[in-house]
A and B are shown apart, each in its own frame.
Chain A
Amino acid sequence: MSAWTTPSKDMPVSQDPWQPHRATIRRIVREIDSVASSVFTLEIELEPGPFAKRYRFMPGQFNMLYLPGSGEVAISHSGAPTGVASALPEGRFLHTIRAVGRVTRAIQRLEVGDSIGVRGPYGTAWPMENLLDQDVLIVSGGLGMAPLRPVIYSILDQVHRYGRVDLLYGSRSPDLILYESELGSWGACGIGIETTVDRTDPSGVHPWFGPIGPVTQWIQWRKSRTRYPDFDPHRTQVLICGPEVMMHFCAQSALEIGIMPSSIWISMERNMQCGFGACGHCQWGPFFLCKDGPVLRYDLAQGYLSIKDL
């Protein structure tokens, strides 16, 4: 029976990966409050201790947030990552959440000072090393902006280390643009900002004077030598996050303007439950998106993105 009580030493089981860690909600920002969508950002602080001390995350990674009685939900980091000057103090981070399901609606009812469980960080990160000295095209659709914001914060931290950086941001309508108040300051710091909407706000509450149409055409326009004389597809990295169909067409457009499939990156969403490839929910082709993703290099994902219901 010794085998039962002391499993062999090469297999440490002291820490159960399902165990959530306690955190406290420090701040709540209502981002979007419309009939169509309710989006808010939580600033969360881990309880001081070994977990908070060693907690590090990279842009693109996510946490499992837990509310006892409701369940867990995978939410990507939307704040500045560990090591960036603008990052929050140790053990604090941001999550932008759309209230859409049982758990996210329950989280929406929480108030500052309430507790929440956290496991993480999980998943692959945006390829920040590959972006150095490159032109970067950040393409976001709707809420896809949330997992890309840490990329922007990282770039802004050392903006001289990158080439030309553009954010192409497509939204369904003007009232659904996330982090709208920050876009101006990002632009002032040297990031090219191009926003477009599918349609204007019929109520007129959010007037729109910008372009209307799919974000893909902004990618395609880079073919134009007169508009983008310095555009070089061979030194451009493209990061895309948004609905699957949008990522599919944006990647197609990027290929059309000569960008290498291995220089395009997407972030996939599926039902992540465990975070370590054991529960099976987030499978997409050969990938467990919770650990092989969510960020995938396009040449590896290409064959699956066009297959319906995969």
Chain B
Amino acid sequence: MQSVRWLCQNDLQVLLDLLIGEGFCVLGPTIQQHAIVYDEIQSIDQLPKGWTETQGPAVYQIARTPDGPAREKLFHFNLGPHSWKKFLFPPESVLPSQSSVSELAQVGEPQGACVKPYAILGARACELAAIAIQDRVFMNPSFVDAQYALRRKSLFVVAVQCTTAASTCFCPSMNTGPALPDPQSQGHAFDLSLTELTPSEESDARNPSIQEHGFLIQAGSEHGQRILERLPTSEASPRMLRAQEQAIDQVAASIERSMPTNQLRDALMARLQHPHWENVAERCLSCANCTMVCPTCFCSSVEEVHDLVDQAVVRKRRWDSCFNPDFSHTSGAPVRDSVRSRYRQWLTHKLATWHDQFQTSGCVGCGRCITWCPVGIDLTQEVARLLES
């Protein structure tokens, strides 16, 4: 199908310009408040060139890469606190709303039809998996979230191959990475994919011909192919393809953390009364950070927001979390009124009952919940402890 081509580093701007020209709002990684977060970008100069990050349980620190300016990569990092979820399923959105019941319409039109479509630049393999999981939540036979469906169906995805891994990554055990899905075998997982290569990785004394910093670029959809054909690309050399393979293999080999996934659903559901839940509860602050950074967590609440002036009411749907005590409020009191029960709900939902509900795990192995837990609770370790007995 689509062949792999070579795009020079500076020509990445041409891709951005093409997407912006097609009417897309391009979103990509930027540095804000000492973290790499996703935001609207117009220029490749806004990308975190030469930056990387250190991650661990409750540890996140960005730093300059040691390479000189010539070899500074644009994508030599993994994941920050943001996921693309914040654009497809915004933290706050407005539901059909009436200022009084007398104005309740019979049928409402979906909101947000005038918003620009998104193009995301830099989605990693685990993030594509996360989007596919949220697709099952928000676009299934029993329910289609109109706002999500509109954003999702117009989404243009430029995926980026991971050429480094954080210590918190465990995508191989969740079968979601680190390599991007092969567009030949797996349909429309992305529109374009990029693998960033620098001279250090692809040239040696015997083969000095490749000196450039750039990207191997491949289309994963017809739209991606149309865009690719308009880019100033050149043929990719076998040396480049070898360098790509090497980079992916190196990343895969560097990932040490893993989730025991064999029969995990049944194993966890058989341990709902396990004493270890109490052990986690002694450390867990029930702060909800893990659910906010999780790229698949989808819980929300609707809030009635009054306009004090003219008594108009706006219904806002906001991200919520099973770690909030009120989340399970039923007939006057929360059902899950202990941290133990809330952590158990989160973990067993993510790793076990998600299979019952959506025929997939709810975890993609991105490790965000480990990094952003203020007390460094690592779900892979908690699962291992639960499975010990």
Residues of A at the B interface (CB closer than 8 Å) are: 1, 3-5, 7-8, 11-22, 47, 49-51, 66-72, 100-101, 114-117, 269-271, 273-274, 276-281, 283, 285-288, 291, 303-304, 307-310
Contact = CB atoms under 8 A, between A and B. Distances in A.
Contacts of B349: 283
A67 B100 CA distance: 8
Nearest to A4: B154
Interface stretch (B37-45, B135-143, B164-172, B195-203): B135-143
Interface string B106-134: 11111101001100000000000000000
Given A50-B107, A286-B353, A309-B338, 11 more contacts: A1-B23, A15-B108, A16-B96, A19-B96, A71-B303, A115-B100, A270-B335, A280-B300, A280-B320, A286-B357, A310-B335
B60 to A, nearest CB: 26
Contacts of B116: 4
A100 B272 CA distance: 31
Interface stretch (B145-153, B212-220, B245-253): B145-153
Interface string B288-325: 00000000001111111010000101010100101000
A138 B142 CA distance: 30
A61 to B, nearest CB: 14
A307 B137 CA distance: 26
Interface residues of B, number: 68
Contacts of A277: 142-143, 357
- Residue in A13, A20, A71 whose Cβ sees the most chain B Cβ within 10 Å: A13
A12 B145 CA distance: 10
Contacts of A14: 107
A281 B327 contact: yes
Contacts of B142: 276-277, 291
B286 interface: no
Contacts of B341: 308-310
A309 B99 contact: no
Contact of B113 (A5, A22, A285): A5
Contact of A68 (B153, B272, B304, B356): B304
Nearest to A49: B106
Nearest to B327: A281
A85 to B, nearest CB: 29
B101 A115 contact: yes
A68 B313 contact: yes
Nearest to B297: A280
A133 B324 CA distance: 47
Contact of B145 (A22, A278, A286): A278
A271 B110 contact: no
A183 to B, nearest CB: 24
Contact of B100 (A68, A274, A278): A68
A18 B107 contact: no
A279 B300 contact: yes
B101 A68 contact: yes
A82 B181 CA distance: 50
Contacts of B331: 100-101, 269
A47 B101 CA distance: 12
Contacts of A279: 299-302, 320
Contact of B357 (A1, A47, A273, A288): A288
Closest 9 CB pairs of A and B: A280-B299, A309-B341, A286-B356, A115-B101, A22-B104, A4-B154, A19-B108, A276-B143, A13-B146
B153 A67 contact: no
A134 to B, nearest CB: 29
A116 B269 CA distance: 41
A309 B145 CA distance: 30
A4 B156 CA distance: 11
Contacts of A283: 322, 345, 349, 353
Contacts of A280: 298-300, 320, 322, 327
B184 interface: no
B117 to A, nearest CB: 4
Interface of B: 22-23, 95-102, 104-111, 113, 116-117, 137-139, 142-146, 149-150, 153-154, 269, 272-273, 298-304, 306, 311, 313, 315, 317, 320, 322, 327-332, 335-338, 340-341, 345, 349, 352-353, 356-357
28 contacts: A5-B113, A13-B144, A15-B108, A16-B111, A18-B96, A20-B96, A47-B106, A50-B106, A68-B99, A68-B100, A69-B306, A115-B102, A117-B104, A271-B327, A271-B330, A271-B335, A277-B142, A278-B145, A279-B299, A279-B302, A280-B320, A285-B353, A286-B269, A287-B356, A291-B142, A309-B338, A310-B336, A310-B345
Contacts of B149: 7, 11, 13
Contacts of B146: 13, 16
Contacts of A286: 269, 352-353, 356-357
Contacts of A72: 302
A106 to B, nearest CB: 11
Contacts of A273: 301-302
A281 to B, nearest CB: 6
Contacts of A22: 101-102, 104, 106
Given A280-B299, A310-B341, A20 B153 contact: no
Contacts of B357: 277, 286, 288
Nearest to B115: A4
Contact of A69 (B117, B300, B304): B304
B336 A71 contact: no
Contacts of B104: 20-22, 47, 115, 117
- Residue in A101, A117, A280, A308 whose Cβ sees the most chain B Cβ within 10 Å: A280
Contacts of B145: 278
Contact of B328 (A69, A71, A270): A270
Contacts of B317: 18
A270 to B, nearest CB: 5
A1 B154 contact: yes
B353 A278 contact: no
Contacts of B111: 16
A68 B338 contact: no
A307 B336 CA distance: 11
A277 B140 CA distance: 10
B356 A307 contact: no
